[in-house]
Structure 1
């Protein structure tokens, strides 16, 4: 039962929760905001609608404004004349699935089929395909962001609740005008027939939009297509206010990530190695991976009891925030782990539940130097587990290290997760009772060499 619960937690976390969190808060692999002083983007979801979309196109034409329409395939198929008019009048057409259904509720193959069906409709009517995609409700799953298949996922920087008629045109206009600035990607709706929307709500949107377009014209702001705003991304540098906003977003992401970790620890009863300032947690598990040759012809095999280590992400974030380089971070980790491995050995000896375990192991992207402590580093076998671990740990590394994104870009060939394993007798020999003194003496020499390595690295930087 516990194993089933664990896998359900893993699947929901990796498939839904983490991708949604990092895409919305951290902007990972999605486009949410442009970098332009005078241009903003109007985007419309759920259409085309036989009543309101034609009125919207008339309004945009009157103000010479360009927009982006993320169409629902089944609606586009019913109203090809509106789709053709969007294209002929210079607007960008994107995909919003064939039916308005959350990607969390569909298998990856079903999502791909929905996208392909909608693009087929667009291509048949306009003669052109599209690479821009917005999932319903902006909810992405793991496969959406791990492999975009050449598509650009577009979310938004501001939304206004215009799908509810109760807001009223006046209040809606006030909300929209507060967000009227260069680089903004505004989310609006030209159809009110989707789940949770009011059928007559787009009428208020049209009244509010007319006021917005008039004010934008006075301020010399232009409404452009998303692809136009997207092209500005690589040209303009972020402003000081944007940098401040990014810092706030990152802190929010870190907070959310740590809350998720706390929930994980509670559900699966992870234990801290040390009572204060622990660097990792542990638990007993049954090994389910491929056979691993540890050392001296000893093998870790499927079905063997093991101790699984989990780094404390709060501690990693604190270390990453002060680390001057990847080498510096790795050395700090080695020293802290070195101090806590004797505590781990002591706990295992006195814990009856840990009897019979064959090895301790972990999967980590920071694997420079653990051999000095008696660990062995092995490649993860190809497969789903390696793919999921790679995506998860890269997302985590972007959070815990201030230069995480740059490190992943510059060192993508070496920044890969690996299996770190140590037989139990090696742990006891090095870090329990008599073996501890011999280990400390050897490791102190290693630490001195690492200090020199760090100093040389920092001078080079």
Structure 2
């Protein structure tokens, strides 16, 4: 009996669990996120619903937003007028199986029939075939990958738990606004009849969505269909990456999440992460700071880390190292005042001696008042250079080719800034005269950075 159960576990893992992990973490043969500058994607599962879907369509029309509906075939069969309206109003109609049942629990032939039946229903109503598919709960099995030629599997980058009524409108709105960023694929539900969902939950979703669409309008963001987002993404450098490099990126970003959890990193701007930090004792050799003080082993420091996902996305959207450098400088310009405010309001942070990071040599940090010093030779320096070299090959616009050019310049360096330099005696924020002078000299800054080496990523 135990042997039988063990074999069932192995088969189940090979059939469903492992493919699910591969698709969720590494994005293998699925679409999860776009690369737009001003576009995001609203997607709705489980409908159509005769009570909530008409109101949702009215709301989308009000804000001129386009969406993608992954419909349950049996629901579409009962509400053909709603499917017809989705299509007529310019939305994309996708497939969510004929019944809302996990692909883990169905044989490949059964899944194929579910998809085909739903597609036939959509075609009978709209006159167009659907080639976009989201499996219920986003769960794929081994054979779902083989159907890629017939349907494109679409998952998501942002999920909010909007099927739970207890979440509340305010909390749901907060979660949605926090992920209102270009390229996001938002998962929402216009029907609450699925197992585990609350029937009245879509009421709260509609309220939160209206606030989100209002904010999107104010920020110049617009919701587009998944097919439009995919077409734009397929023209990007990321689409031309080999699977091996995408796997490397996936593992790298997975390590990023583990590192943040293990070392309890905090984020300067959680809504759009870019700069992370933690308070820790300094472990290096004694160094002199610009304010005349010395940094000794055991002194408290604020260690800085740039968000690797944001760094990767900036790299993918940049045509050159100079453009990437300029974009990073601009992001740092926005982050530093918030970091200063956080430090000023936290007694333990304000008592730290210095801001500290490790980076590939560049002149970017010097623009913010950091001092760049050599990293003492040793095992840590060697491991850091190896890690940053991999990082460089992943996010640099020139890819691994950059490592072959002027490799002697790609040396890890320490960057340091006294906390007293970030905050003056009156607790004023970083946005003082020095920052204003730097902003007034924007043209000079960009020209200088264009000559600089790649701005480097802070090592973990």
TM-score after normalising by structure 1: 0.53
Residues 104 and 2 of structure 1, relative CA distance in 2, 3 Å threshold: same
1:12-27 alignment runs, 5 A limit? 12-27=12-27
Q: Report if aligned partners of 1:25, 1:252 keep a CA contact under 8 Å in 2.
A: no
Question: In the aligned structure 1, how far is the partner of 2:218 from the partner of 2:237?
Answer: 26
Deviation at 1:3? 5.7
Q: Report if aligned partners of 2:52, 2:203 keep a CA contact under 8 Å in 1.
A: yes
Q: Report if aligned partners of 2:40, 2:182 keep a CA contact under 8 Å in 1.
A: yes
Deviation at 1:233? 1.1
Query: Which residue of structure 2 aligns with residue 87 of structure 1?
Result: 87
Query: Which residue of structure 2 aligns with residue 160 of structure 1?
Result: 160
Residues 208 and 15 of structure 1, relative CA distance in 2, 3 Å threshold: same
Deviation at 1:17? 1.0
Deviation at 1:159? 0.5
Matched, 1:69 2:73: no
Residues 141 and 252 of structure 1, relative CA distance in 2, 3 Å threshold: farther
Deviation at 1:149? 3.9
Deviation at 1:238? 5.5
> SS of the residue aligned with 2:148?
coil
Deviations 1:110-138 (A, max 9, x none): 10111111011100000001100000000
Query: Which residue of structure 1 aligns with residue 184 of structure 2?
Result: 184
Which structure's CA Rg is the greater one?
A: 1
Give structure 1 stretches of 5+ with no counterpart: 256-400, 405-461
Please, which moves more after superposition, 73-82 or 246-255? Answer: 246-255
Question: In the aligned structure 2, how far is the partner of 1:149 from the partner of 1:110?
Answer: 18
Q: Report if aligned partners of 1:35, 1:238 keep a CA contact under 8 Å in 2.
A: no
Question: In the aligned structure 2, how far is the partner of 1:139 from the partner of 1:252?
Answer: 24
Residues 113 and 243 of structure 1, relative CA distance in 2, 3 Å threshold: closer
Q: Report if aligned partners of 2:26, 2:251 keep a CA contact under 8 Å in 1.
A: no
Question: In the aligned structure 2, how far is the partner of 1:244 from the partner of 1:143?
Answer: 24
Query: Which residue of structure 2 aligns with residue 249 of structure 1?
Result: 253
Deviation at 1:8? 2.0
TM-score after normalising by structure 2: 0.53
Query: Which residue of structure 1 aligns with residue 96 of structure 2?
Result: 96
Deviation at 1:145? 1.5
Deviations 1:335-368 (A, max 9, x none): xxxxxxxxxxxxxxxxxxxxxxxxxxxxxxxxxx
Question: In the aligned structure 1, how far is the partner of 2:21 from the partner of 2:253?
Answer: 11
Deviations 1:380-437 (A, max 9, x none): xxxxxxxxxxxxxxxxxxxxx9999xxxxxxxxxxxxxxxxxxxxxxxxxxxxxxxxx
Q: Report if aligned partners of 1:133, 1:152 keep a CA contact under 8 Å in 2.
A: yes
Question: In the aligned structure 2, how far is the partner of 1:244 from the partner of 1:23?
Answer: 14
Q: Report if aligned partners of 2:44, 2:188 keep a CA contact under 8 Å in 1.
A: yes
Residues 220 and 252 of structure 1, relative CA distance in 2, 3 Å threshold: closer
Residues 33 and 11 of structure 1, relative CA distance in 2, 3 Å threshold: same
Question: In the aligned structure 2, how far is the partner of 1:170 from the partner of 1:205?
Answer: 10
Question: In the aligned structure 2, how far is the partner of 1:39 from the partner of 1:25?
Answer: 23
> SS of the residue aligned with 1:111?
helix
Residues 75 and 174 of structure 1, relative CA distance in 2, 3 Å threshold: same
Question: In the aligned structure 2, how far is the partner of 1:15 from the partner of 1:247?
Answer: 22
> SS of the residue aligned with 2:54?
helix
Query: Which residue of structure 2 aligns with residue 9 of structure 1?
Result: 9
Deviation at 1:236? 2.9
Q: Report if aligned partners of 2:41, 2:184 keep a CA contact under 8 Å in 1.
A: yes
Deviations 1:221-260 (A, max 9, x none): 1100000100111223459xx99974543448999xxxxx
Residues 176 and 245 of structure 1, relative CA distance in 2, 3 Å threshold: farther
Question: In the aligned structure 1, how far is the partner of 2:36 from the partner of 2:108?
Answer: 35
Please, which moves more after superposition, 226-235 or 172-181? Answer: 226-235
